[in-house]
Amino acid sequence: MSETNEPTVGNYQRGLEVMARLWGQEVANDMLMFWRSVHPDIERYITAFALGEVWARPTLDLKTRSLICLASAVVLERADQIRLHTRGALQNGATPAEVAETIIQLMIYAGFPAAWQAMEIANQVIGDRREKTKS
Amino acid sequence: MSETNEPTVGNYQRGLEVMARLWGQEVANDMLMFWRSVHPDIERYITAFALGEVWARPTLDLKTRSLICLASAVVLERADQIRLHTRGALQNGATPAEVAETIIQLMIYAGFPAAWQAMEIANQVIGDRREKTKS
Amino acid sequence: MSETNEPTVGNYQRGLEVMARLWGQEVANDMLMFWRSVHPDIERYITAFALGEVWARPTLDLKTRSLICLASAVVLERADQIRLHTRGALQNGATPAEVAETIIQLMIYAGFPAAWQAMEIANQVIGDRREKTKS
Amino acid sequence: MSETNEPTVGNYQRGLEVMARLWGQEVANDMLMFWRSVHPDIERYITAFALGEVWARPTLDLKTRSLICLASAVVLERADQIRLHTRGALQNGATPAEVAETIIQLMIYAGFPAAWQAMEIANQVIGDRREKTKS
Amino acid sequence: MSETNEPTVGNYQRGLEVMARLWGQEVANDMLMFWRSVHPDIERYITAFALGEVWARPTLDLKTRSLICLASAVVLERADQIRLHTRGALQNGATPAEVAETIIQLMIYAGFPAAWQAMEIANQVIGDRREKTKS
Amino acid sequence: MSETNEPTVGNYQRGLEVMARLWGQEVANDMLMFWRSVHPDIERYITAFALGEVWARPTLDLKTRSLICLASAVVLERADQIRLHTRGALQNGATPAEVAETIIQLMIYAGFPAAWQAMEIANQVIGDRREKTKS
């Protein structure tokens, strides 16, 4: 077994860093606390594997990855995930218009109701962010 | 009723043009013939609305739209759609590595088996394209 | 390109009329305002294409179309859609018993929990309608 | 416990009769043999409960029930079920155009690709039936 | 038709007994009242068929059946079903750790968010049960 | 960061061992070669994380985990996964009757057609295994 086939020891630490860049430090902390309260091993798998391994990969930037994950959340109709990945997209340089286009593009694949409900949720995140930036 | 609320008369023609840019003229023709054989109204709705209205929108380019649609196809486990949107992504400048990253990103959302089966399908499209470019 | 392949200019207007017949003027107005608040283009696509093209087609009446859409909403477990298409079915002549039969028929395809939750939602719409008719 | 709450003894027999009316004797026999080969208890549950209880209910006729089940099969993308319920719809008086309308109606709820693939499958059943009627 | 192919007359009574063993008498009564309020025939089908036929089968005990149903509820993201089958699993001898393992096992098949949301719901049931046992 | 929060270096090796116990050495080798051909990182994530972390956990044995994964595969209608987890269940001590019960239990949650198709697939794996044991 070559060492390159082994998960490196620093995955968890890298996961924490990716999380902060992806959603901002405040939301990252909230998510981390939430996942820990749910189950410590689930938190560990999310941080070390999902964030530290998968989200940390090169080739696609965090904005594109967020739009891809938003797309998956729209078609699976997962409200919390639509919220989270909209936030991640905006945090990493997507405009509100690009978030809207991602959702409109999926009308023809996810069904119209899935798209309009996703847009309603995304609008709330976009609105909240605007409020915060103002104040 | 203001005119901006009406679908413009040129939607169908624009749909044909988007289709050709999106998948290349040859695949676009194949898809068009296939849809017509299935049902003329379905073909018309796809060309004039799905391609001519939705895919034709600005703000996101055809590469990003293809990756978004690929994402939706991966989580919904639609084999034919994985094939089509992989082709569209490559045709519009995505590298095979970017297609692979889109699928790997979704391992944690769609389930591991959905991702590895999607990658197997995408690999075939990538391989076919390489063959063609060589010859 | 023959003109018959083009979406006619009056689709949006026709969509407004279908909407009013389908759900009654009051609910139609509510939906229209809601969709506009979500995204003007989504509202336009729903009114001109979904209502003005698809729902406006002949061969099946609005009652049958509503039961078909109710069926799709039951198996996809979309609560808001169950509400809307129950309303559309009742508005277009379906009896409460026919709505119930549609849902009971799907127990064996959608799983029992999807059916009993759909029935609970449909019952609320049926009850609300009875209240209104009384007063 | 009143007796009306008990499944009546004749459910299995009634299921066999419903099956024959629903799909025609030949297809009904094929399905029965197939289900028996899969698992005798599954066959018994399908015949006595799914057919003998649910499909046997009054209020909606077999044509409408078939269109409802076709709708569920389209959105769940179950190819074999699309085939079976198209056959049931045609057998009980639906026209090919009514089957097509059911599928077109669902474009906006199931996603366009689910609809066009369903139509391709339904067309085969419609074509096969035409061949048979001719000979 | 041999009699062994017929649903026996005592299915409904057996369903009531299975329900009480499965979730405890109190929850069983609540569910029964709820299902009756939804639709008397749905209640009858659930009690006589789902509980009295399927859940009553031998070969797998109620704990294993509950974990299997919990698994299906996790991947289908049905919150009420996660609650009910967690309760059934605990009632029939599963430990909170076994419930947690069932959910963690499904992270790689259902997607990470489906698993962490299921765990949050299951934790509430586990917590409620602990409270009750204490008092 | 405590070391207990880090993925241990031996995950990949442990994954290989779990795989062999779970499906037998021959099938494990086939899967490994298949996953490598699909994408080396996907293979690494499956072996080190899915097998070496998740499947390797204590509290539930490989038979119960296989039945749980079979349940998820039945409701998601993933044919290849039904095959794989039926094999894993049988390999770890489940009887063919227990596999059948798992699937029959899900008729009421996944819909009848999902269950009968799953049983057809599971029967093939059970039959193949019988053939092999004989020779």
Candidates D42, D78, D110, D69; CA nearest to C106 is D69
Closest by Cα among A90, A92, A19 to A62: A92
Q: What's the pTM? A: 0.94
User: Distance between CA atoms of D109 and D126, rounded to whole angstroms?
Assistant: 23
CB contact under 8 A, C112 and F108: yes
Least CB-CB distance to D113: which of B41, B45, B81?
B81
Task: Convert the pLDDT of each residue in C3-35 to its tens digit.
Answer: 444 445 589 999 999 999 999 999 999 999 999
- E60-113 per-position pLDDT tens digit: 999 999 999 999 999 999 999 999 999 999 999 999 999 999 999 999 999 999
Q: Find all residues with CB under 8 Å of A90, minimum gap 6, and list them.
A: A96, A99, A125, A126, A129
State the count of interchain CB pairs (< 8 A) between D and F: 30
Q: Partners for D (CB, 8 Å, 3+ pairs)?
A: A, B, C, E, F
CB atoms within 10 A of CB A98: 17
Q: Do C109 and F112 touch (CB under 8 A)?
A: yes
pLDDT at A9: 52
Contact status, residue E83 vs residue E74, Cβ threshold 8 Å? no
Q: Which residues of A63-89 are buried (b: 16+ CB within 10 A; e: fewer)?
A: bbbbbbbbbbbbbbbbeebbbbbbbbb
pLDDT confidence band for D111 (50 / 70 / 90): very high
pLDDT in tens, A6-47: 445 589 999 999 999 999 999 999 999 999 999 999 999 999
Judge residue D39's burial from the number of C-beta atoms within 10 Å of its C-beta, 0-12 exposed, 13-18 middle, 19 or more buried.
Answer: buried
Chain E: nearest CA to F67, how far in angstroms?
7
Quote the percentage of chain D above a pLDDT of 70: 93
- Whether residues B111 and E111 touch (CB distance < 8 A) is answered with yes
Asked if E70 contacts E89 with a C-beta cutoff of 8 angstroms, the reply is: yes
For the stretch E7-18, pLDDT in tens is 455 899 999 999
Overall average pLDDT of the D22-43 stretch: 98
Buried b (16+ CB within 10 A) or exposed e, E84-110: bbbbbbbbbebebebbbbbbbbbbbbb
What pLDDT band is residue D133 in, cutting at 50, 70 and 90? confident
Q: Band of the pLDDT at C102, cuts 50, 70, 90?
A: very high
Q: What is the pLDDT of residues E17-57, one digit of tens each?
A: 999 999 999 999 999 999 999 999 999 999 999 999 999 99
Q: What is the pLDDT of residues C45-87, one digit of tens each?
A: 999 999 999 999 999 999 999 999 999 999 999 999 999 999 9
Distance from CA of C29 to the nearest CA of E (A): 30
Contacting residues of E for F55, CB less than 8 Å apart? 105
Q: Which residues of C touch A117 (CB under 8 A)?
A: 80
**Rounded alpha-carbon distances, angstroms, from residue F101 to B56, F80, F114:** 51, 19, 14
Q: How confident is the model at residue A2 (pLDDT cuts 50, 70, 90)?
A: very low
Residues of D within 8 A of A108 (CB-CB) are 111-112
Which residues on chain E place their C-beta less than 8 Å from a C-beta of chain C?
35, 38-39, 41-42, 45-46, 50, 76, 78, 80-81
- Of F68, F74, F72, F104, nearest to F89 by C-alpha is F68
Residue C2's pLDDT band, with cuts at 50, 70 and 90, is very low
Q: What's the mean per-residue pLDDT of chain A?
A: 93
How far is Cα E119 from Cα E82, in angstroms, rounded to an integer? 9
Alpha-carbon distance values, E99 to A106, B102, C73, F44 (Å):
36, 32, 31, 28
Question: Could you give the angle at the alpha carbon of F125 between the alpha carbons of F122 and F126, nearest 5°?
Answer: 85
Instruction: Please give the full DSSP string across A16-45, using - where no structure is assigned.
Output: HHHHHHHH-HHHHHHHHHHHHHH-HHHHHI
Which tens digits make up the pLDDT trace of E93-102?
A: 999 999 999 9
F22-50, pLDDT tens digit by residue? 999 999 999 999 999 999 999 999 999 99
More confident residue, F9 or A130: A130
Contacts of A131 (CB under 8 A, 6+ apart): none
* Nearest CA-CA distance, residue C119 and chain E, Å: 6
CA distance A116 to chain C (A): 7
Chosen for mutation from C106, C119, C123, C126 (greatest number of chain E CBs closer than 10 Å) is C119
Q: Are A49 and A57 in contact (CB under 8 A)?
A: no
What three-state secondary structure class fits D63?
helix
Q: Are D104 and D115 in contact (CB under 8 A)?
A: yes
Torsional sign, CA E42, E43, E46, E49: negative
pLDDT of residue F93: 98
pLDDT value at residue B71: 98
Kindly indicate whether the ipTM for this predicted assembly is greater than 0.85, answering yes or no: yes
Cα–Cα dist D120/D97, whole Å: 14
Q: Residue D78: which of F104, F113, F123 has the nearest Cβ?
A: F113
Q: What's B7's DSSP letter?
A: P
pLDDT at B44 over 50: yes
Q: Of how many residues is chain A composed?
A: 135
Contact call for C107 and E45, based on CB within 8 A:
yes
pLDDT band at D6 (very low <50, low <70, confident <90, very high): very low
What is the 3-state secondary structure of chain E? CCHHHCCCCCHHHHHHHHHHHHHCHHHHHHHHHHHHHHCHHHHHHHHHHHHHHHHCCCCCCHHHHHHHHHHHHHHCCCHHHHHHHHHHHHHCCCCHHHHHHHHHHCHHHHCHHHHHHHHHHHHHHHHHHHHHHHC
**Whole-number Å distance between alpha carbons of E74 and E91:** 19
| Chain B neighbors of F35, CB-CB under 8 A | 116
